[in-house]
Amino acid sequence: MEVLSRLLALLVLLLIGTGLRASGVLDDSRTQLLNTVAYYVALPALIFVSTYDQAIGELLTGALFVGLLAALLGTVAIAWAIHRESPGRGRKSVAIVQSYHSNLGYLGLPLVAATFDARVTAIASVVLGVISLTQVPLTILILTTMNEADAAISTELGRLVRNPVLLTLVAGLTVGSLGLSVPGPITAGLDVLGTLALPIALLCVGASLQIDLPNVDVAASGAVVAVKIVCMPVLGWIALSLLEVDAATFTASIVMLGTPTAVSTYVFASEIGGDEEFASLNVFLTTLASIATLFVLIRAVG
The more confidently predicted of residues 100 and 42 is 100
Looking at the predicted structure, is the pLDDT value of residue 65 above 60?
yes
CATH topology for 2-301? Na+/H+ antiporter like fold (1.20.1530)
Looking at the predicted structure, is the pLDDT value of residue 267 above 90?
no
Q: In the prediction, which pLDDT does 288 show? A: 87
In the DSSP assignment, the letter for residue 84 is T
pLDDT tens, residue by residue, 3-42: 777 778 878 888 898 888 888 888 888 888 888 888 888 8
Looking at the predicted structure, is the pLDDT value of residue 189 above 80?
yes
Residues 6 or more apart from 186 whose CB is under 8 A from it? none
Instruction: For residue 151, name the pLDDT band (cuts at 50, 70, 90).
Output: low
**Strand locations in the chain (E):** none
pLDDT tens, residue by residue, 128-148: 999 998 998 899 888 888 877
- Cβ neighbours around 91 below 10 Å, total: 19
pTM of the model: 0.88
- Cβ neighbours around 27 below 10 Å, total: 12
The more confidently predicted of residues 261 and 201 is 261
Q: In the prediction, which pLDDT does 99 show? A: 96
**Rounded CA separation 260/75 (Å):** 13
Taking each continuous run of H as one helix and of E as one strand, the counts in the chain are 17, 0
Q: In the prediction, which pLDDT does 210 show? A: 67
**Rounded CA separation 108/90 (Å):** 27
The one-letter amino acid code at 200 reads: I
- Maximum average pLDDT range among 20-29, 51-60, 122-131, 197-206: 122-131
- Maximum average pLDDT range among 73-82, 125-134, 166-175: 73-82
Query: What's the whole-number mean pLDDT along residues 287-291?
Result: 89
Domain ranges of the chain: 2-301
Burial class (CB in 10 A: 0-12, 13-18, 19+), 196: middle
Q: Which of 35-49, 205-219, 228-242, 260-274 has the lowest mean pLDDT?
A: 205-219
Q: In the prediction, which pLDDT does 228 show? A: 97
Query: What's the whole-number mean pLDDT along residues 91-105?
Result: 93
Nearest CA among 111, 133, 201, 129 for reference residue 172: 129
Average pLDDT, the chain: 87
